[in-house]
Amino acid sequence: MLDQKFVRENFAEVKERLSLRNGDFSYLDNFLKLDEERRKIIVEVEELKARKNAISKQIGIYKRENKDVTPLLEEMDLDDDRIKTLDERLRDLEEEIKLIMLNTPNLPNKNVPRGTSSEDNVEIRRWGEPTKFTFTPKPHWDLAETLDLIDFERAGKITGSRFAIYKKLGAKLERALITFMLDVHTQLHGYEEQLPPVIVNRDSMTGTGQLPKFEEEAFKLYNNQNYFLVPTAEVPVTNYYRNEILNGDDLPISFCAYTPCFRAEAGAAGRDTRGIIRQHQFNKVELVKFAKPEESYDCLEQLTRDAEHILQLLELPYRVVELCAGDLGFSSAKTYDIEVWLPSYNDYKEISSCSNFEDYQARRANIRFRRAPKAKPEFVHTLNGSGLAVGRTWAAIVENYQQEDGSILIPKVLRPYMGGLEYIR
């Protein structure tokens, strides 16, 4: 959420920066009007309440002294209706303003490249070279079928499309990747591990920005409309500190968490229909940081490096791109996507998205910190990134490490997690 005061006082700048995103923000003009009325009403109603409080206090004193209070009571009656009317109007105004604010995305950071689509994203760096083959490589869905690593058909029977059953060494590889990623982040990068609920409530979904605007993207529980399946561990882990004031000395705080992730993929019909690239349920290890404002952009660099490190250890070629303003997620001020080389796409494919939300989520979720014991609380900056999307990593390994005989060479760092196995065949 943007700071109301900031929007009011820097209205032109806010609109200009928002306009870098795709979308129509003319509705914001209404905010100014509502906000002005709101403040006018506050002035009036608070004055009435102050008077009322004073009279009530007088009544208390009169009663103790056994004086007649009827004149005071009469004076009060007039105020009462007016207060009620104003309070109701105020509540409506505040609700309306809140709705506007909750539906307004974050301001892109000033240094974010301009652009309207992923075409305008800027490549920052590459690591490794796209894998070369002396034979025609197969897509992971073919390899998975031949090696009996995934059963898509029965998953369709059991649940529906865009679900998969990992089998045998396929299941073990997925499990190995999860453990490997968590081990690297906790042991090498200083993240604290969490294993959070995969069902969260409406307030949590609102805190990180999934609601109210993107409700159709989320899986909702049928018997409790207040509960949602997590689309990412970002939601439970960021909301860990909702409505809390942290000690500034403890920042930055770094958490990592594995969860399955659930996405409706409402607008994605026909996209990535083969394989495990786009599923309704997938596994992900997420990195989350809470930082002081002045250090959050350093934290974003570090978090991105931490995610990249996984690919380096797995020796998978990738590149890092910075998203242009038009391609930024709703809550993000700046985002790096990490894209792994995927032979079946003959292209780089997103495997991690690392973002600095600045104080946007913190204001929604009311997460603050104090620099010193008595200091005024300030909003923290929140960051997160995939470290990494496990299913896509699985696909990248299977495709990039495939051998001419159809077997999969297991990356060295994963072998301890695979019982020393060298090949899947």
Give the nearest distance from C-beta 172 to RNA in angstroms. Answer: 23
Residues 138 and 317: their CA atoms lie apart, in Å, by 17
Residues 250 and 198: their CA atoms lie apart, in Å, by 27
Q: Are strands 378-379 and 367-370 parallel, antiparallel or unpaired?
A: antiparallel
Residue numbers 21-80 binding RNA by CB under 7 A: 39, 42-43, 46-47, 49-50, 52-57, 59-60, 63-64, 73, 76, 80
Residues 157 and 102: their CA atoms lie apart, in Å, by 39
Q: Tell me the site size for RNA, rule CB under 7 A.
A: 28
- x/- contact string, 83-122, with RNA (CB under 7 A)? --------x-------------------------------
Reference 181, options 283, 282, 278; nearest CA is 283
Residue closer to RNA by CB (options 159, 247) is 247
Q: Is the Cβ–Cβ distance between 233 and 259 less than 8 Å?
A: yes
Interface with RNA includes 415 (CB under 7 A)? no
Give the nearest distance from C-beta 367 to RNA in angstroms. Answer: 12
For the record, the structure tokens of 24 come out as 């129509």
The DSSP bridge partners found for residue 174 are none
Residues 191 and 194: their CA atoms lie apart, in Å, by 9
Interface with RNA includes 202 (CB under 7 A)? no
Give the nearest distance from C-beta 86 to RNA in angstroms. Answer: 11
Residue closer to RNA by CB (options 36, 193) is 36
Residue numbers 377-396 binding RNA by CB under 7 A: 377
HSE-up (13 A, CA, CB side) for residue 176: 23
- x/- contact string, 353-372, with RNA (CB under 7 A)? -----------------x--
Give the nearest distance from C-beta 63 to RNA in angstroms. Answer: 5
Residue closer to RNA by CB (options 113, 377) is 377
Interface with RNA includes 376 (CB under 7 A)? yes
Residue closer to RNA by CB (options 40, 110) is 40
What residue type is 367 in one-letter code?
I
Q: Is 133 helix (H, G, I), strand (E, B) or coil?
A: coil
Residue closer to RNA by CB (options 247, 273) is 247
**Residue located via tokens 């409700």:** 215
Residue closer to RNA by CB (options 373, 419) is 373
Residue numbers 232-261 binding RNA by CB under 7 A: 245
Interface with RNA includes 425 (CB under 7 A)? no
Q: Is the Cβ–Cβ distance between 250 and 213 less than 8 Å?
A: no
HSE-up (13 A, CA, CB side) for residue 193: 15
Give the nearest distance from C-beta 299 to RNA in angstroms. Answer: 23
Residue 375 Cα to chain centre, angstroms: 29
Angstrom distances, CA of residue 161 to CA of 165, 260, 276, 280, 384: 12, 17, 11, 8, 29
Give the nearest distance from C-beta 43 to RNA in angstroms. Answer: 5
For the record, the structure tokens of 408 come out as 């999969």
Q: Is 266 helix (H, G, I), strand (E, B) or coil?
A: coil
Q: Which residues are known to be catalytic?
A: 263, 278, 350, 353, 392
Give the nearest distance from C-beta 64 to RNA in angstroms. Answer: 7
Residue closer to RNA by CB (options 46, 404) is 46
Applying CB under 7 A, which residues contact RNA?
4-5, 39, 42-43, 46-47, 49-50, 52-57, 59-60, 63-64, 73, 76, 80, 91, 245, 370, 373, 376-377
